[in-house]
Amino acid sequence: MNSGDDIAGTIHALGSTVSDFHVGQRVAAFHRMLAPHGAYAEYAVAPAHTVFHIPDSTSFEEAATLPLITLNASVSLFRRQTLPPPWSPLLPNSTSLPLIIYGASSSLGAFAIKLALKSNIHPIIAICGSSRAYISTLLSPEKGDAIIDYCQGPEIMKRDVRAALGEENSKRARHALDAISSKGSWVPLAQLVGQPGGDGGVVSVVSGANRYNEPEIPSSVQIVYTYVGTAHEGAYKPKMPKQPAAGPEDVKADIDFAFLMCRYLGRMLARGEFEGHPVRVVPGGLGGVEEGLRALKGGKAEGRKFVYRIGEVEGVAR
């Protein structure tokens, strides 16, 4: 099945009920996952509500880094965690709203940071390893943002996070995003947002392969799995872990949220207020997919998204 989910190109044809796009427009889109007609082809199909305009100043390669990961980050922060969205940011004199992001140098972590900044959320505690050059350009140390190294183990990491937050913000910390969700990475995050004797926090996780039931997780903390497919389906699959307590009716609204987010994303791009992720264009079109997968498996992404140009596939008309 051709299920590539990040698309950028020009509109070739429209469905009969589509009214806010026209043939020839430059767009990017989030393809419905595990459905036919994905991105690994000369022509692809996407629902209109997860399509957005891209300006001439945004290349197709950059635009292709945006759709899925932006929606994944925004559903995590603004739907599952109910943080204020970018179109209704915190006022400048608002009480601080700490956000802890583990795996901050990943594409998901970086986009979560960029969206949180648009919502005026600070301090942002970005936890990552050595690939931090790009992340450091996004943060605002004067507003309390900080980078924390996870390489020395969870106990030192937690100590350093609390030191970066300070006493008051440590007590106020209730929100965390685990952009990696592997090998128990969510456990120390839960311990950071689960204050003894206080209200529990929320940790968003992004892998459906775990159960998230470790006894070390404070009982007051909610672990909530983000399934970005709710942007299309408005529902989780029955056996997915840690579905939101708000229930199925709330999840249905993810479809309308995705529509709003995609339209707002197009607006931010047109204004020069948002950007894609650093990219590495893998040569050879689809013939380079294997090379890209090997590089990802070998940990050689180095904070970049891999992009393939369909026009470089042998036999495709230029």
Question: Can you give the pTM of this predicted structure?
Answer: 0.93
Q: To the nearest 10°, the Cα dihedral for 301, 305, 306, 311?
A: -160
Pair of tokens at residue 274: 């948002």
Q: What local confidence, expressed as pLDDT, does residue 302 receive?
A: 75
Determine the Cα–Cα distance for residues 73 and 119; give it in Å rounded to an integer.
13
Determine the Cα–Cα distance for residues 318 and 316; give it in Å rounded to an integer.
6
Reference 70, options 54, 94, 93; nearest CA is 54
Q: What local confidence, expressed as pLDDT, does residue 286 receive?
A: 85
| Residue 272 neighbours by CB under 8 Å, 6+ apart | 57
CA 294 vs CA 34, 176, 291, 306: distances in Å: 22, 30, 5, 11
Q: What local confidence, expressed as pLDDT, does residue 278 receive?
A: 87
Reference 180, options 204, 201, 159, 164; nearest CA is 204
Dihedral over Cα of 67, 43, 295, 277: its sign:
negative
pLDDT in tens, 123-164: 999 999 978 889 999 999 999 999 999 999 999 999 999 999
Determine the Cα–Cα distance for residues 56 and 288; give it in Å rounded to an integer.
26
Q: What local confidence, expressed as pLDDT, does residue 199 receive?
A: 72
* 270 CB burial (10 A radius; 0-12, 13-18, 19+): middle
Spacing of C-alpha 274 from chain mean position? 14
**For every residue of the chain, which 3-state class applies, written as one string?**
CCCCCEEEEECCCCCCCCCCCCCCCEEEEECCCCCCCCCCCCCCCCCHHHEEECCCCCCHHHHCCCHHHHHHHHHHHHHHCCCCCCCCCCCCCCCCCCEEEECCCCHHHHHHHHHHHHCCCCCEEEEECCCCHHHHCCCCHHHCCEEEECCCCHHHHHHHHHHHHHHHHHHHCCEEEECCCCCCCHHHHHHHHCCCCCCCCEEEECCCCCCCCCCCCCCCCEEEECCCCHHHHCCCCCCCCCCCCCCHHHHHCHHHHHHHHHHHHHHHHHCCCCCCCCEEECCCHHHHHHHHHHHHHCCCCCCCEEECCHHHCCCCCC
Query: Rounded to the nearest 5 degrees, what angle is found at the Cα of 99, between the Cα atoms of 95 and 103?
Result: 165
Q: What local confidence, expressed as pLDDT, does residue 289 receive?
A: 86
Starting at the edge strand found earlier in the chain, the sheet holding 146-149 runs 146-149, 124-128, 99-102, 175-178, 202-205, 222-225
Which residue ranges of the chain lie beneath pLDDT 50?
A: none
pLDDT in tens, 180-194: 999 999 999 999 999
Pair of tokens at residue 233: 């389906």
**CA-based end-to-end distance of the chain:** 24
